[in-house]
Chain A
């Protein structure tokens, strides 16, 4: 007997991620879709019913000896969230709960207004709308990826980062996790060093409280390996706007790269006269660079654009506008034709064609600065689904950025890359396997055509970093085929891997651990069990 709120689900075979850059086959008869469709129940009752239902589907997977993975928006570029067994669709679990002072720990040093409890399937677009428009007083999330289709659980589990220079990635705003760990168990996880929830809140969940920094930081970025995240407590800020500036005349020089590598804002201001001052009420918040690897060269400002976003107050009466059309981007048809054309030309002959086409597309698509200040929800919005796109991202310490960019430039001078390069600056995370692991992290994004030649460039760039001894990490939710057991160990270190594995072993019983294993974990050696001391 299937409980109310659960329906059997037969995924298309093959199943594709929403960006359609890979396909996958799930085991027939092992997938479920969960919903809140019962008008007789209130939000609290529906949330609790969903908790029981998530426990039920885990129990079913244990009973059938099959693997299981929760799928939210199906957004990742890699099969990190896929498994050979079944999927649980959680996008229908989209309730958001207000937090009042009775639900907050007396040790919490902020206010209940700073907190929101968000169910796993809630999309960032819905969260932004609620915070910025629907629910007074207006507030906002602290960081966002470039788009808003991800669910909150998927976003944090794969390390969606944004470019909040002093704030961190999306998951760095999470302060509590409601985790379903088995057919009969679910826990409330929070840091012992940063307690948030009151006993009343945990009683409402009916969960076992676990206040432990290691467990929390391990589960935070765990791509579905620690059971199913049902809800997360996040911290939000009073609404602010971001005023964008595009600097197109900064000269790519050793001096500039040195200032960037040290995040020496005063020096940057000297080198970039057009860079606005960061003063109270107009503070630097978000920084990114977009560059054309074919045209940048030392001593020139060609192909090199720096975007600064400054945090500014909200004018009286301002209502964020989440409407509008998609940002300009090459059409899927253009991408498809370009990929076909380049394949037909062959790798030897096509270098100059790729360079020419890439440069043309880069200059055509580099956006001007938005003239008016906008909210996070207004800026980071819909993306067009475009098949045949390869999105690869890795992180380095910002101190290693100058050498990293030179390695990319050298590589692309030898082997064509049909795409563009961007750098986003993010404050480092405390999450055990957060890929934004460096104190000051630079995330280097290489987005381009999903072609074999581009994949070879990704591979070569990582080989170059390794040859130069530059520490790096790779985004979990983007193309990550280069990760294996040795690399994961080298990237995160023995201590972090041990802590992560021990935390997993502590939270999940052996039969449940087997449910939440997938090929990606096996490839990275993360399925191996290390029992806690």
Chain B
């Protein structure tokens, strides 16, 4: 019984790590445009995501906030975020995500 429970827990942990934990992809595109200006070098939109490696669904979909797609993304993990994750045994993992929505492409006809 103990072996069975242990294998379940290990499978859950492995599954979580494999499918939903902290996979970071930064997409760089040429000539980034944006739908608004941030102060200084700040991006226009930002959010802090808080999640847990023990949670099965921790994906954040912020593409839906951009009508014209995302032009650039910055993901920041501060040292304290790492410490926090360690202290809480992964129950609280936080990162800051900054992004700009792209300007549109194409042109219109006057009607």
Q: Does A43 have its Cβ within 8 Å of any Cβ on chain B? A: yes
B67: chain A residues within 8 A (beta carbon): 36-37, 39
- Is B41 a contact partner of A73 (Cβ separation < 8 A)? no
Among listed A16-24, A264-272, A426-434, A471-479, interface-contacting one: A16-24
Among listed B6-14, B32-40, B49-57, B84-92, interface-contacting one: B32-40
- Is A42 a contact partner of B35 (Cβ separation < 8 A)? no
> Interface size for chain A: under 10, 10 to 19, 20 to 34, or 35 or more residues?
35 or more
Q: Does B23 have its Cβ within 8 Å of any Cβ on chain A? A: no
Instruction: Name the one of B39, B40, B103, B108 contacting A43, with C-beta atoms under 8 angstroms.
Output: B108
- Is A324 a contact partner of B39 (Cβ separation < 8 A)? no
Q: Assuming A12-B42, A20-B40, is B107 touching A35 (CB within 8 A)?
A: no
Q: Assuming A42-B108, A126-B105, is B39 touching A11 (CB within 8 A)?
A: yes
A387: chain B residues within 8 A (beta carbon): 40-41
Q: Please report the C-alpha to C-alpha distance between residue A416 and residue B105 in the assembled complex, in whole angstroms.
A: 46
A382: chain B residues within 8 A (beta carbon): 30-32
Closest B residue by C-beta to A95: B108
Q: Does A311 have its Cβ within 8 Å of any Cβ on chain B? A: no
- Is B111 a contact partner of A44 (Cβ separation < 8 A)? yes
- Is A125 a contact partner of B33 (Cβ separation < 8 A)? yes
Q: Does B110 have its Cβ within 8 Å of any Cβ on chain A? A: yes
Q: Please report the C-alpha to C-alpha distance between residue A20 and residue B41 in the assembled complex, in whole angstroms.
A: 7
Q: Does B106 have its Cβ within 8 Å of any Cβ on chain A? A: yes
Q: Does B96 have its Cβ within 8 Å of any Cβ on chain A? A: no
Instruction: Name the one of A20, A91, A204 contacting B37, with C-beta atoms under 8 angstroms.
Output: A91
- Is A96 a contact partner of B37 (Cβ separation < 8 A)? no
Q: Does A314 have its Cβ within 8 Å of any Cβ on chain B? A: no
B105: chain A residues within 8 A (beta carbon): 126, 129-130, 134
A323: chain B residues within 8 A (beta carbon): 30
A42: chain B residues within 8 A (beta carbon): 108, 111
Distance (whole angstroms) from the CB of B61 to the closest CB of chain A: 17
B38: chain A residues within 8 A (beta carbon): 12, 18, 74
Map CB proximity to B onto A1-43 as digits: 1 under 8 Å, 0 otherwise. 0000000000110111110100000000000010111010011
Q: Please report the C-alpha to C-alpha distance between residue A378 and residue B109 in the assembled complex, in whole angstroms.
A: 26
Instruction: Name the one of B31, B39, B109 contacting A125, with C-beta atoms under 8 angstroms.
Output: B31
- Is A95 a contact partner of B104 (Cβ separation < 8 A)? yes
A98: chain B residues within 8 A (beta carbon): 107-110
Distance (whole angstroms) from the CB of A174 to the closest CB of chain B: 18
Interface size on B (CB < 8 Å)?
23
A135: chain B residues within 8 A (beta carbon): 106-107
- Is B111 a contact partner of A72 (Cβ separation < 8 A)? no
Q: Does A239 have its Cβ within 8 Å of any Cβ on chain B? A: no
Distance (whole angstroms) from the CB of B102 to the closest CB of chain A: 9
Q: Does A527 have its Cβ within 8 Å of any Cβ on chain B? A: no
Q: Does A122 have its Cβ within 8 Å of any Cβ on chain B? A: yes
A116: chain B residues within 8 A (beta carbon): 107
Q: Please report the C-alpha to C-alpha distance between residue A64 and residue B111 in the assembled complex, in whole angstroms.
A: 36
Closest B residue by C-beta to A16: B40
Instruction: Name the one of A89, A95, A117, A381 contacting B36, with C-beta atoms under 8 angstroms.
Output: A89
Q: Please report the C-alpha to C-alpha distance between residue A241 and residue B31 in the assembled complex, in whole angstroms.
A: 19
Instruction: Name the one of B34, B35, B42, B110 contacting A103, with C-beta atoms under 8 angstroms.
Output: B110
Scoring B31, B34, B39 by chain A CB atoms within 10 A of each residue's CB, the highest score goes to: B31
Q: Assuming A16-B40, A20-B40, A134-B105, is B30 touching A322 (CB within 8 A)?
A: yes
Closest A residue by C-beta to B34: A91
- Is A126 a contact partner of B37 (Cβ separation < 8 A)? no
- Is A381 a contact partner of B110 (Cβ separation < 8 A)? no
Distance (whole angstroms) from the CB of A478 to the closest CB of chain B: 17
Map CB proximity to B onto A56-92 as digits: 1 under 8 Å, 0 otherwise. 0000000000000001111000000000000001011
Closest B residue by C-beta to A321: B30
Instruction: Name the one of B37, B41, B42, B104 contacting A94, with C-beta atoms under 8 angstroms.
Output: B104
Distance (whole angstroms) from the CB of B85 to the closest CB of chain A: 27
Scoring B42, B109, B110 by chain A CB atoms within 10 A of each residue's CB, the highest score goes to: B110
List the interface of chain A (C-beta within 8 A of B): 11-12, 14-18, 20, 33, 35-37, 39, 42-44, 71-74, 89, 91-92, 94-100, 103, 116-117, 121-123, 125-126, 128-130, 134-135, 148, 201, 204, 322-324, 381-382, 385, 387
A-B contact pairs, 12 of them (CB 8 A): A12-B42, A15-B39, A18-B40, A33-B36, A37-B67, A44-B108, A100-B110, A123-B34, A134-B105, A148-B31, A381-B31, A387-B40
* The 3 nearest A-B residue pairs measured at CB: A43-B108, A16-B40, A125-B31
